[in-house]
Each structure stands twice: as C-alpha cells, then as structure tokens.
Amino acid sequence: MAKTLAAIKGVGAYVPTNVLTNADLEKIVDTTDEWITTRTGIKQRHILNEKGKATSDLGVEAVKILLEQTGLKPDDIDLLICGTVTADMVFPDTANTILDKLGTNKGFGFDINAACSGFLFALNVGAKFIETNTYKNVVVVGADMMSSIVDYTDRTTCVIFGDGAGAVLLQADTDGYGILDSELRGDGSGRQFLHMKAGGSLKPASCETVEAKEHFVYQEGKSVFKAAVNGMITSINEVLNRNNLSPNDIRWVVPHQANMRIINSVADGMKIPIDQVMVNIQNYGNTTSGTLPLCLFDYRDQLKKGDLIVLTAFGGGFTWGSTLIKWAY
C-alpha cells in the first residue's frame, strides 16, 4: 500500500499596504540606508498600522488568497494551525480567531509559538494529521505583527522586523510528493539571547515593566547569529544525509529570512549557489513565522512538480530545524 504523505497543494500570502523604508527609519532612529542594507540586506518592511487590526487579520488575508487559488471554501478547512509569536491575545488562540473571521466554525485550530521556527514546526504538526488520514484539508499559517513588539527607538532591532503572513494547504498524496523528512530541534538555554522579558507568567505586565520597555524584542545579535548559522546548516545536513542526498540534489533552499548575512553564511556553508536560495528579505524584513510561506508564495511560479526543496529556520528559544519536501504541483 502506497505511503500517505502530506503535500503542499497551495500557497497564499499577504503583507500590509503600508511600507516602512530605510529612508523612513533614517528619520526615526540614528541609522542610514547603507548601514541597514549592509548589515541586514533589508530595504523595506510592511507595517500593519490600522487601528483595531492584529495578527489574525494578516492570517485571514493570506488564507483567503490560498482558498481562492485552491478552490476551497472556509468550511472545507478541517484544521488550521497558526505559527505566531504575536498572538492577538494571550488567549484565545489566533488560529480559531482566523477561522471565525473567515466565517466558519466547522473545523478547529490552535497556535504554535516557536518564534521564527513557528511555521516550520506547525507544518510538521499539521502533516501528521494528513499522514494518519485524520483530516483531509489542513491549513498551516505563519503570521506575525512584529511591529507590535518592536521598540522603534532601538536601531538594532527596529530595522529588522516587519509584518506579514503566509499560508499553505496540506492534503494527502500517495505518489511520493510531499513532506519526506524533518529534523526539528530545540535548546531552551538559548532563551537568554533572544526573548521578550515581560508579559508572561514569569514577569506579568506592570507599570514598571512598561516603563522599562520590557515588552519589546530583546536580542543579543552575535550569539543568535552563530547559533542560527550552525543550527540551520547542521539540520539541513542531517536531513540530506539521512536520505542519501547531497546539496546538488536540492533545487531550492528556503531559509528563514532573518538577516542576509545569515542566509549567505548558510548558503556558503552548504556550498549551494545563492541563486538556488529563496531570498525576499529585501522586501519584507524578518516577518518571523511569516518568512517561509512568503518565500514559497513569491517563488511559486518557479517551483516545479518534483522539485526537492529544503525549508530551514531558526528562532528564539532556541528553536531550529529543516524539512525536506518533494514539491507536489
């Protein structure tokens, strides 16, 4: 009996219309376009600045585009998993809010918080519901409104992040197309280098935490850089070796869009030409859980059925991993 794989059968993505360029940031903090471009590769990022809008609204628009492309209706969604670090609220989960805003209560949803690895982890969780024939249509969303937790007086972080979302549809495939293998890892000791200090049960919100600006992203750049490059290269190699593949067998590497220097270091370490690496960081910045599906959406016309691609990510926590996929359409 043919093995059932979870195959990506459609991709959707959305970014807000408001664009924050490097020139705009020059007016806000002590920085320059040259400084930002040289250190990050970013030229602009999209910001959701509409009052009353949140991460779920980004996810809704991405899923709407996905449904249009696949011909499905909201009621066809059996399960929606949302990778996000900027949930609308502590609870309820953003996934069920997305389903409600789409106008359906037929399925169910839940969130996964693995920082920038959120979409990758959610994709692998969603795949299990397909591989076990539990559900027919699983939607995986990566969405983050990073502007809500970025300090725009801190030039080391505010230049990096943007808002955006992407979504994919997982369905069963018995012809060998879909998610073939994954290596997912975590090291909680890395939380000291990339985190948000307050707002959780360890340090609930108070006047003091707000005044101390402890509800924004904190990052120790050098430690994160080293761990990210090592984590992505190591996990890619582990997946390839396990499947008797070499970098030459891979058509596309889809890395988390954290920093162009990190992307280049991963490509160099894997000896993969940069033209085989999906890159769109210049347009969106780091959208955290949104980067991988945004890449797949932007490159969708270049993807061919049968292409072997590797998704790889690294996030605060630390979390990291790589997933090998045989493209299905």
The region, left, alpha or beta by phi > 0 then psi within -120 to 50, assigned to residue 74 is alpha
286 as an active site residue: the answer is yes
46 as an active site residue: the answer is no
- Of 22, 113, 124, 286, catalytic: 286
Quick check: 186 and 317 in contact, CB under 8 A?
yes
Quick check: 68 and 184 in contact, CB under 8 A?
no
Q: Cα separation of 59 and 56, whole Å? A: 5
- Of 256, 259, 283, 295, catalytic: 256
Question: What radius of gyration, in Å, describes the C-alpha atoms of the chain?
Answer: 19
Q: Cα separation of 324 and 256, whole Å? A: 14
Q: Cα separation of 289 and 316, whole Å? A: 11
116 as an active site residue: the answer is yes
Q: Which amino acid type is present at position 207?
A: C
Q: How many CB atoms lie within 10 A of CB 3?
A: 10
| DSSP-derived 3-state class of residue 81 | strand
Q: Which of 2, 72, 309, 289 is nearest to 179 (CA)?
A: 309
- Of 82, 116, 158, 295, catalytic: 116
Q: How far separated are the first and last CA of the chain, in Å rounded? A: 22
DSSP state letter for 38: H
Residues 6 or more apart whose CB falls under 8 angstroms from that of 79 comprise 107, 108, 109, 126, 129, 135, 137, 138, 139
Cite the active site residues: 116, 256, 286
